[in-house]
Chain A
């Protein structure tokens, strides 16, 4: 696990090249504290910050092939590198190291950009092909590892995180208003868009080739499901066969994710998914496993009881970090520096504390249960959509809408709702054939926070319609899929990479140099699960049915049968009642709000007053509060310093800025 950075086709003076690469890569030290490397060839440059996990002694990067014509800077892991290496050696390739990195170099020699198709892993990398004079960028199928880029003049700069790009002369941080509109609807910008104007991300499952003639981007993988027309009842024998296949594939996904020259630990939330991965590790590793979890001050969010049950059942060596409301508020500036985007929920904050705990215990790699809810249909939104469709089929029914209450037993405020209001909130007016049907209530509730946008911001957003934009991005075959598959696609192709794996995943883990590994996101398991009939995933209103069945004997019964409790953390109260509340309120002061210009300060003042006054604040107000606060912190972290620099700069063009670039100590090659 590492950080990468580089450029191609930029007018960088030869004597400045290494200094620029070093400035870029030094912003990513948290991702790779074990050493830096740079490589320069004409107007192409690569940089690498290393976290040593496989072939600790031999995997230095950037790395080249036998004749030095192919150079690679790679972030991530290729879990099937052992098998790929054997095949490549059999075909005559000569390896200098035992690393997974070198496998990519040789695969590229054979297959060019198609090499990604052979890789089973989480990766983002850049390959400089000296002979063809082209730079290839690639990102893993589901978007575990990040990769950002910016087009400049006729060239391109790229890096694992935006902060490295901001070191490149000519690249400045400013907010993209459309991205903010998307974040206040979906909780993340729609890739390739990022919150930074002019900076894009390479979407998951894509490769990009930059040559002197321009840049082309191609998708090489996507989530895909069978046609709903093929859906039919399933015999017990067939179900048993699916269950067996899931078990085998899951165990293999765990097995190859244990490949590391350093110990692998486990995150343990207390829920089904991380209990499964933790139990599965125990099948392969005889030693006592290190496990880590978060406990919350507020009982509403705390799952300690279930964590302790797993610790006892599996005999784990367990460590806990205790998350207080103060911690969530106090960690926000550091959090936003890593997420590089506003957040609409506070759930990423405790994950930052968790990776710190892992780091302090000397562990660099953790296995987690992330992805199971997308792949095996565990989220409440899937059940909710099923019940809403069930209600819509019989609009006169007084009893059907009451099922909606049963969906959210952990939300006391929903229990008092009458049938008519439940119908209204859960969108009885929504068109059943809207491709976004499953997610419309969530998007509607989130988008209410857009009411706080300033008049200026609303003017620059104009009549942009985020929902229409999302509908346009759906694949042509989407309409033929089963409603559950459609909802799974919306979660998996968008929320998963845009939020779960980034703000709540890679960024908060790598902040402390910790690499997450996700067996449920092995593409072989994803492809298997997508072929499983929807009725075996969400059976009645039991989520992840086939997964539960496949691992039933590996878990204590209380865990195996446990209904999903979504991972949540305290919201507005955590800020307003904390000892740093004065700092929080300062971010939301009329002067700071007006200076940034994104929000209506009078209206935000009312929101803050309401959150301070009322003992309990609802989902919608909390979302607006956290979204506005984190946008302000994002502004102060990224765009305000850039505005300051712009004010002092005398450079008038990117080329001039490059010539005038600061000189920094020489990098190591």
Chain B
């Protein structure tokens, strides 16, 4: 489940944030901000993707780098949200 989730997040990040060819892919813990991969539009794209794809609601105060700044952090955050609000998993 977690692997499937991580794979989906990775796929979204890789296709949406268009990281440079020639890298061996993005590490699970690599900072999206640090790598210059995400801008203000990117954050909103990411949030709306997570909400529509995983049936969670991302609260304003949760839009922080601690939750969203790497593939690993995003995966953990989504997993936490899903287990905390199982009823929201209708998608």
Contact = CB atoms under 8 A, between A and B. Distances in A.
B88 to A, nearest CB: 20
B51 interface: no
Contacts of A413: 40-41, 44
B43 interface: yes
A390 interface: no
A618 B42 contact: yes
B41 A610 contact: no
Contacts, number: 70
B19 interface: yes
B21 A421 contact: no
Contact of A451 (B18, B47, B65): B18
A620 B41 contact: yes
B60 A610 contact: no
Contacts of B33: 424
A614 B45 contact: yes
Contact of B40 (A451, A455, A618): A618
A618 B64 contact: no
For the residues of B in contact with A, the DSSP-based class is helix
A298 B45 CA distance: 22
Given A451-B19, A603-B18, A610-B18, A619 B39 contact: yes
Contact of B43 (A421, A607, A614, A617): A421
B41 A621 contact: yes
Contacts of A600: 20-21
Contact of B64 (A416, A421, A603, A610): A421
A211 interface: no
A424 B41 contact: no
B63 interface: yes
A414 B61 CA distance: 15
B40 A425 contact: yes
B85 interface: no
Interface residues of B, number: 22
B40 A610 contact: no
Interface in B38-66: 39-45, 47, 60-61, 63-65
B44 A416 contact: yes
Given A418-B60, A421-B63, A421-B65, A603 B41 contact: no
Contacts of B18: 451-452, 603, 606-607, 610, 621
Interface in A381-429: 413-414, 416-418, 420-421, 424-425
Contacts of B43: 417, 421
A174 interface: no
Contact of A425 (B20, B39, B45, B63): B39
For the residues of A in contact with B, the DSSP-based class is helix
A603 B15 CA distance: 9
B36 interface: yes
A444 interface: yes
Contacts of A607: 18
Contacts of B61: 418
B25 interface: no
A459 to B, nearest CB: 11
B41 A451 contact: no
Interface string B20-32: 1110000000000
A579 interface: no
B15 A414 contact: no
B89 interface: no
Contact of A414 (B21, B40, B60): B40
Interface of B: 15-16, 18-22, 33, 36, 39-45, 47, 60-61, 63-65
14 contacts: A416-B60, A417-B44, A417-B63, A418-B60, A421-B63, A425-B40, A448-B36, A452-B20, A600-B21, A603-B18, A603-B20, A606-B18, A614-B45, A621-B41
Given A416-B63, A417-B40, A420-B63, 8 more contacts: A418-B64, A424-B33, A448-B36, A448-B39, A451-B18, A603-B20, A614-B45, A618-B40
Which 7 interchain pairs have the tightest Cβ spacing? A618-B41, A418-B63, A451-B20, A420-B64, A620-B39, A600-B21, A424-B33
